[in-house]
A and B are shown apart, each in its own frame.
Chain A
Amino acid sequence: EAGVTQFPSHSVIEKGQTVTLRCDPISGHDNLYWYRRVMGKEIKFLLHFVKESKQDESGMPNNRFLAERTGGTYSTLKVQPAELEDSGVYFCASSHSGPLTFGAGSRLTVL
């Protein structure tokens, strides 16, 4: 079984630019989550999809962040425009009925 795939693994952009992160969950997993770890801090919940619908987006920091899940398959997380404090590792996870399976994360560096 293929795992949760995220890309890019590392992205370096300048403040004000746009970045789109992609997550391919495990096939058949209706639940898809985005989390973020800012350097030295806890991993924080961003949002939760059930299929193509946003179940909970209470963790999204502000309206510069836009998450979508096309057809209930892969998901994208776009940051526009990026700010310095957006730097960190963005994790995607998916589940069907069991615990979450995580991807390797996408490291975002905003200069």
Chain B
Amino acid sequence: AQTVTQSQPEMSVQEAETVTLSCTYDTSENNYYLFWYKQPPSRQMILVIRQEAYKQQNATENRFSVNFQKAAKSFSLKISDSQLGDTAMYFCAFSLYSGAGSYQLTFGKGTKLSVIP
């Protein structure tokens, strides 16, 4: 069975600064996907970024980037130039892929990020 660990229950960052959220996982599989999801207060959870395990290059989406260390089973999220709208709960998730859009996600407990003006 897979497990995902987020060791930082809460974090805060000053607006315009950079923050890194940690995530580690455990699996015996070699092919899998990793995700960061964001849930703003009272709103739906949205996908921030996705990484395929077979890709060595770290995924990037605008101000969001990951540091994927496969051997260490680490998948951290870096948010650059933090904005007030980044305030949210951030979930790291793992999934094997069974084809045809079939993902069964295993989530970490989440990190509550507060961006301070």
- Give A contacts to B, CB under 8 Å: 3-4, 29-31, 33, 35, 40-45, 48, 50, 55-56, 91, 95-105
Of B4, B102, B106, B110, which contacts A48 at CB under 8 A? Answer: B102
Q: Do the beta carbons of B101 and A91 come within 8 Å of each other?
A: no
The residue in chain B whose Cβ has the minimal distance to the Cβ of A101 is B47
Within 8 A of A (CB), among B81-117: 91, 100-110
A30 touching B44 in the complex, CB below 8 Å, given contacts A35-B105, A45-B106: no
Sample of 15 more A-B contacts, CB < 8 Å, known A55-B102, A95-B101? A3-B44, A31-B103, A35-B105, A42-B109, A42-B110, A43-B105, A44-B107, A45-B104, A95-B103, A99-B33, A99-B35, A100-B105, A102-B46, A103-B44, A104-B42
Q: Do the beta carbons of B35 and A102 come within 8 Å of each other?
A: no
A104 touching B43 in the complex, CB below 8 Å, given contacts A45-B104, A99-B35, A99-B103: yes
Judged by DSSP, the binding face of B is: strand
- Give B contacts to A, CB under 8 Å: 4, 33, 35, 37, 42-47, 50, 91, 100-110
A91 touching B104 in the complex, CB below 8 Å, given contacts A42-B109, A99-B50, A102-B37: no
Q: Do the beta carbons of B105 and A45 come within 8 Å of each other?
A: yes
Q: How far is the CB of A51 from chain B (nearest CB, A)?
A: 11
Number of contacts between A and B (CB, 8 Å)? 62
Q: Do the beta carbons of B103 and A42 come within 8 Å of each other?
A: no
A105 touching B101 in the complex, CB below 8 Å, given contacts A41-B109, A99-B35, A99-B50: no
Q: Do the beta carbons of B45 and A102 come within 8 Å of each other?
A: yes
Point out the residues of chain A lying under 8 angstroms from B104, CB to CB: 33, 45, 48, 56
Point out the residues of chain A lying under 8 angstroms from B50, CB to CB: 99
Of A43, A101, A103, A104, which contacts B107 at CB under 8 A? Answer: A43
Point out the residues of chain A lying under 8 angstroms from B109, CB to CB: 40-42
Q: Do the beta carbons of A31 and B91 come within 8 Å of each other?
A: no
Point out the residues of chain A lying under 8 angstroms from B100, CB to CB: 30-31, 50, 97
Q: Do the beta carbons of A98 and B108 come within 8 Å of each other?
A: no
A99 CA / B46 CA spacing, docked (Å): 10
